[in-house]
A and B are shown apart, each in its own frame.
Chain A
Amino acid sequence: MTKRLFAVVGIVLLSVQVFAFQAPPGQPPAGQAPPAQGEFLPIDQLPASEQLPAAPLLIVAYAFVWIAVFFYVWTVWRRLNKVEAEMRVFEKRQSHRGEGAPGVNRTQPR
């Protein structure tokens, strides 16, 4: 009787072991945290060749803003100078036409 009981318990334990062995890996026992994954590294532990430095991107962004502003101001200044030069030429031409010609009226446009 005792022998039979030991045999049954032995078979049950063996089956449990076999089933436990066949269970999918990575299933942590209840109440325990899953183990850390080996494939992922914190970003600050990456090798230098893999890291993307922020400073050059930041510098390019700020530099672009300033270059764009200065370039735009330069283009407006150039166009303004061109218009004013043209206006001076026009005034000179008007003054050469003599007294009878209508003078240049530099009033505000509509």
Chain B
Amino acid sequence: MEKVFVPLAVVTAAMFAYAPFAIAQAPYESTMLLIQKIFYFHVPSWMAMYAAIAVCGVASVVHLFKNRPAADRLAVSAAELAVLFGAMGLVTGPLWGRKAWGVWWQWDARLTMALLLELVFISYLLVRTYGGPGSDKLAATVGLFGLAVSPFVYVSVNFWRTVHPLNTVVPTLRTGMLGPFWLCAAAFLLLFALLLMLRTRLATEQAMLDDLYLADEE
């Protein structure tokens, strides 16, 4: 894993360094103009959050049913990243909405459900931090709940039509916008993978230290 980390970090850094130039060269959207360029970081941050939720949910299932501590460490690392990338989406969205919609926030289905999804993963971390012994299993059920809920958040905008655009925006993008968008999406997913490796290493070392203290007490 550590052999992959450095080359992956270099590739990700190069992609993020090139991203501002690609975004600047992308054509302006006809009605929103400059503010629409938040899209290139806003949507990829949600994509990274969904990736984190998938990893956390699957690892939680493995930990719940097969009792694997390694899966638990992966789940807690992914949950932390779900909160990080979710916060990015929840901050960049209102900044875009303030100009495009005239309001910072709307309590519509998509925005409210996205906020609730963020709160689910914050509660996961709170359970892990303050839950005491056995909190890993309880948190795993919270992670599993987050995974089960996330598809409804994604499709909510198709059922309740409000101010938020539909999910069909990305497939209908103009050619000049598609390149920068997928570049940013790939960069965010690579960043997620890198941060997950880093955070999992921390969780592994913490577990090693706990094992050493336990062995010493015995």
Contact = CB atoms under 8 A, between A and B. Distances in A.
A79 interface: yes
A72 B199 CA distance: 10
B34 A58 contact: yes
- Size range of the interface on B? 35 or more
A18 interface: no
Contact of B38 (A52, A61, A90, A110): A61
Contacts, number: 92
Nearest to B198: A76
A61 B70 contact: no
B199 A76 contact: yes
Nearest to B73: A109
A68 B208 contact: no
A64 B92 contact: yes
B26 interface: no
B88 interface: yes
A76 B203 CA distance: 10
A78 to B, nearest CB: 10
Interface string A83-110: 1101100100010000000101111111
A54 B92 CA distance: 13
Interface string B93-130: 00110110000000000000000000000000000000
B209 A83 contact: yes
A77 B63 CA distance: 26
- Size range of the interface on A? 20 to 34
A80 interface: yes
B84 interface: yes
A80 B95 CA distance: 34
A27 B206 CA distance: 77
Nearest to B191: A69
A65 B37 CA distance: 14
Interface string B171-212: 000000000000000000001000100110110111111111
Contacts of A20: none
Nearest to B20: A62
B213 interface: yes
A109 B35 contact: no
B41 A61 contact: yes
Given A64-B92, A105-B215, A110-B70, A83 B205 contact: yes
A68 B87 contact: yes
B187 to A, nearest CB: 11
11 contacts: A54-B33, A57-B35, A58-B37, A61-B92, A62-B41, A64-B91, A68-B88, A79-B206, A80-B201, A104-B212, A105-B212
Interface of A: 52, 54-55, 57-58, 60-62, 64-65, 68-69, 72-73, 76, 79-80, 83-84, 86-87, 90, 94, 102, 104-110
Interface of B: 33-35, 37-38, 41-42, 45, 68-70, 84, 87-88, 91-92, 95-96, 98-99, 191, 195, 198-199, 201-202, 204-213, 215-216
